[in-house]
Amino acid sequence: MRCLVLTIALGAVLSHAAVAQETPFPGAIRRGGKEPISSKSFPIGKTSGMSEPQTAIFLGDEAPQYRYVVGISFIKHGREGTCTGVLLSKQLVLTAAHCGCGTSYSVTQDLRMNGAKFIRVAAPPILFDPLVCQRSTIRPGYDLALLRLTDKAEVDDKYRPILPLAFSLANLTRTGTDLIVIGYGLTERRTSGVRMQALVPVFTADCAQRQYLIAGCAPLLEMILSASARTIGPRTADTCRGDSGGPVFAIKQVQDAVVPVLVGVTSRPAPIPHVDAEDHCGGGGIYVVVGRTDVVTWLKNNGVEAASGQSPM
């Protein structure tokens, strides 16, 4: 099990990256912080009180079947950090923009990062918000980056992620609907570096309510997931530190199969009280919606050919 927690205080946005564990699909994942575990919550900057997101899977299960979800290792501020990403092709990985401000990147498809086989990344990362690293703040709704691998990942030649436009997924992302989160971040046992998965329900699919606007959640560009209404003992499933950049999947019937459809990317903690206040786990998180025309256009401009109806498995 692992944690992916995302916490946003009213007036401040915390962001993180870390390491996690794996489990088969479908499965239940927890959320946690999104910053590199080794550096805890080192800030991207102090402008407007915003710091880097943290993520990890909290109260989740191992996810060995998701070999297209990768663990990302990098160096920032002289320390090793961990984020999560998802393959969009054999050589392109989608992750969070705040995970793209380091150096010496490499990724692994292995379930466990310890002793894993890594593929180097061609520098620098491709940022959806080109100024995120200079700005020292995260632009809500633009926390996305692409990593280009130097060698090909091990996926089927026909591999294509399913990236439908958000409006076509309205029935799959309604409030209360369970979505799958995956990451290599912290777990409730304070361990990380294993690919983990969990089921977390949609809290708000569009962040349009005034209280979430004030908290920094971008309307129509981001969503909040939270299992705060469902307790497992004193805890709830969530993403945590190290899960930043990890994928959020909806479950969709495609022809004769039930497959995961990519709908979001883990960004930062949500404005909801967290069980683990230090690492912002067990309270909910904010996720960037990827099924937007501006995101799809950016991905296509950088060589991503998304399938509209086939399984990425």
Query: Which has the higher per-residue pLDDT, 23 or 105?
Result: 105
Cis peptide upstream of residue 124 (ω within 30 degrees of 0): yes
- The tens digit of pLDDT for each residue in 227-273 reads 776 655 556 788 888 999 999 999 887 777 778 899 999 999 887 77
Mean pLDDT, the chain, rounded, equals: 77
Q: How many CA atoms lie within 13 A of 199 on its CB side?
A: 13
- The tens digit of pLDDT for each residue in 289-301 reads 999 999 999 999 9
pLDDT of 131 > 80? The answer is yes
| pLDDT confidence of residue 279 | 65
Q: Report whether 275 contacts 282 (CB < 8 A).
A: yes
Cα gap 42→52, rounded to integer Å: 7
pTM for this structure? 0.80
| pLDDT confidence of residue 56 | 38
- Strands of the chain (E only): list them: 8-9, 12-13, 61-62, 69-76, 79-87, 92-95, 103-108, 119-127, 145-149, 178-183, 196-204, 222-225, 247-254, 257-269, 285-289
Cα gap 19→81, rounded to integer Å: 8
Domain ranges of the chain: 1-301
How much is the CA Rg of the chain, to the nearest whole Å? 16
289 three-class SS? strand
| pLDDT confidence of residue 211 | 85
- 1-301: CATH topology: Thrombin, subunit H (2.40.10)
- Kindly state the tokens that stand for 197: 């998965």
pLDDT band at 130 (very low <50, low <70, confident <90, very high): very high
Q: What is the mean predicted confidence (pLDDT) over 191-216?
A: 89
Q: What's CA 195's distance to the chain center, in Å?
A: 12
Q: How many CA atoms lie within 13 A of 1 on its CB side?
A: 17
∠ Cα 136 84 86 (to 5°)? 115
pLDDT of 1 > 70? The answer is no
Q: Tell which residue, 172, 145, 146, 152, has the closest CA to residue 109.
A: 152
Q: Report whether 42 contacts 77 (CB < 8 A).
A: yes
- The tens digit of pLDDT for each residue in 77-110 reads 889 999 999 999 999 999 999 999 999 999 999 9
Query: Which has the higher per-residue pLDDT, 53 or 81?
Result: 81
| pLDDT confidence of residue 44 | 22
Tracing tokens 């991207």 back to the chain, one arrives at 44
pLDDT band at 188 (very low <50, low <70, confident <90, very high): confident
